[in-house]
Structure 1
C-alpha cells in the first residue's frame, strides 16, 4: 500500500482492524437476536390474545383433560364439579381501573383435590363480611383455566403479613399453607360471577405479554446496533487522525516518530 495509508499494515492497525471486523458482526448478531426475542414475544402476545378471545366462545371441556396448564390451555374454558370449601380473599386486585379484591373459594372435587375458583371481584378493601358465601351442596363450575401466579409477575404483589383468610397470589405454592386440601396447580375464573360480584376476565399466561421484559429486548436491540455504529465511527475517526498525522509528518510539521525525537541538552 502506497502513501499515507501504509500505516494500515503496521501491527497496531492490524489489531484494530481485526477487532473491528469481529466486533461489527457480533453486534449485528446480538442485535438481531434481541429483535427476534421481541418479535417472538409480540407473536406470543397476539396468539394468547386470540386464544383468550376464542376460548370465550368454545365449549367447556372437563378440567382433567386440560391439565397440566401450559400456553396452549391457558384461557380455555373448563368445567369441574364438587363442593365448595374454604374461602379466601385476594386483596389489591384491579378491575377496569378500580381497586378491589377477588373472592377465592376452594372447590373440592371427587378426584380428591381442590380447585381454586375465583367466584368474582368486589371493589374496596378486602373484607370477609362483604364476601358472599359460596353455594352449598354439589355444584358444577364453568370458567377460564388459569396458571398459578408467581409473585412479582403480571402485577401480582409479593405481600407478606396478610390477615388470616387472605392470600397475595393464587398459586398452589401459596395456598398449600393456608388450606387443608391437596390442590390442583391451576385455578379457574368463572364465566359468570356469583351473588352480585363482577366476573374476573381471563388473562394471558406469564411471559406472553408486552411487558417490561419485551421492551427490554427492544431496548437491547437498539443498544447493540448503536454500538456497531459506534465501532465504525471510531474506526473512521482513528483512520482520519492517523492520515492527518502522516501528512503532517511528511510535510515536516511533526516528527514521524515523536518518541525518537532527540532531547536538547542544556
Structure 2
C-alpha cells in the first residue's frame, strides 16, 4: 500500500499541491488568531472604558476649557461650565432602561458666546415640546459628564432626516450648526443630576471602545479563517483519495486505454469489396 502513495513525493504536480497546503494552513491559522486577538482587544477596551466611566463620575469636576478637545481620555470626565440657557431642542428615539423616549437638549451660551449642548434629562414617549420643561433663567453653572459629538447611525443615534422643527437626530456641532444662531462646541454634557421631572442620562463610553459591529466582524472573520484551514485539509484529503483509487483501479486493470485512431482489419475491407463487385442472381 505504501507504494500507492509514492506519487505524493515523486510527481511535480503533487509537489506543488503539497507546498500550497503547507503554506495555506499556517497562514489561515495565523490570520484567524490575529482576528481573534483583535476581538479580545476590543472586549478589553470595552471593559476598561466602562470602568473609566464609573470612575469619572466620582472625580471632581473640572472647567470645560481644561478638557477640550474631547478624546478617549477626557470623554466621560466631569466638566463644569457657566452661562445662560438659550435655544432648546428635542432628541427623539432615545432609549433609557429599555424604554423609548427623548432627550431635552438646551444650548448653554458661555462667556465667549459659544454654545455648549447640555442634555438636561430624558422623558418617556414621543418627543413633545409641550411636555419638555423650560430651562432655568439667568446665569447657571452646570456639571455633568463630557461627551464627544455623536455620529449619525452609530450606537442608537438616528441617521434619519426630515425631523420636525425643534428636533435633532444627533448631538454634534455639525448637526446643530444650522439649527442654532451661534457657534457650537464640538462636545456636549449630560447633567449628573437631571432637572426636575426628568431622568438623568448616563454617560457613554467613547466610540470605538465598545462591542460594536467591528468587534463582531473580527469574531466572524476568526471563524472564517479557521473554516478555510479545515477546507484546505479536506480538499487535500479528497484529492489524495481520488488519486489512490485511480492508481488501484489501474493495477487491477479496471481502467480502459482509448486508442486515438481505430482501424479496420484489411481482410474485412477486402471481403466487403468482393461482395459489392459480385453479380446478383
TM, length-normalised to structure 1: 0.93
Question: Which residue does the alignment assign to 1:5?
Answer: 5
Give the drift of 1:265.
Answer: 5.0
Question: Which residue does the alignment assign to 2:99?
Answer: 98
Question: Which residue does the alignment assign to 1:184?
Answer: 185
Mind listing any 5+ residue stretches in structure 1 that lack a counterpart? Answer: none
Q: Structure 1, residues 71-103: CA drift from partner, whole Å, max 9, x if none?
A: 112111111111111111001111111111100
Q: Structure 1, residues 48-81: CA drift from partner, whole Å, max 9, x if none?
A: 1100111111111111111111111211111111
- Cα distance in 1 for partners of 2:4, 2:113 equals 85
Question: Which residue does the alignment assign to 1:76?
Answer: 77
Give the drift of 1:136.
Answer: 1.0
Give the drift of 1:187.
Answer: 0.5
Q: Does 1:44 align with 2:67?
A: no
Larger CA Rg, structure 1 vs 2? 2
- Cα distance in 2 for partners of 1:221, 1:254 equals 44
2:58 is paired with a residue whose SS is: coil
- Cα distance in 2 for partners of 1:54, 1:126 equals 32
Q: Structure 1, residues 90-131: CA drift from partner, whole Å, max 9, x if none?
A: 011111111111000011111332110000011111111111
1:80 is paired with a residue whose SS is: strand
Question: Which residue does the alignment assign to 1:126?
Answer: 127
- Cα distance in 2 for partners of 1:56, 1:205 equals 15
Q: Does 1:211 align with 2:212?
A: yes
Following superposition of structure 1 onto structure 2, how do residues 148-167 of structure 1 map, counting pairs within 5 Å? 148-167=149-168
Q: Structure 1, residues 166-193: CA drift from partner, whole Å, max 9, x if none?
A: 0000011100111111111111000000
**Cα-Cα RMSD:** 1.6
- Cα distance in 1 for partners of 2:30, 2:20 equals 15
Q: Structure 1, residues 5-36: CA drift from partner, whole Å, max 9, x if none?
A: 33223232122122212221221122112111
Which deviates further from its counterpart, 30-39 or 211-220?
Answer: 211-220
Following superposition of structure 1 onto structure 2, how do residues 19-38 of structure 1 map, counting pairs within 5 Å? 19-38=20-39
1:56 is paired with a residue whose SS is: helix
Give the drift of 1:3.
Answer: 2.2
Which deviates further from its counterpart, 3-12 or 236-245?
Answer: 3-12
Give the drift of 1:202.
Answer: 0.7
Runs of 4+ in structure 1 deviating by more than 4 angstroms, as ranges, are: 263-266
Mind listing any 5+ residue stretches in structure 2 that lack a counterpart? Answer: 265-281
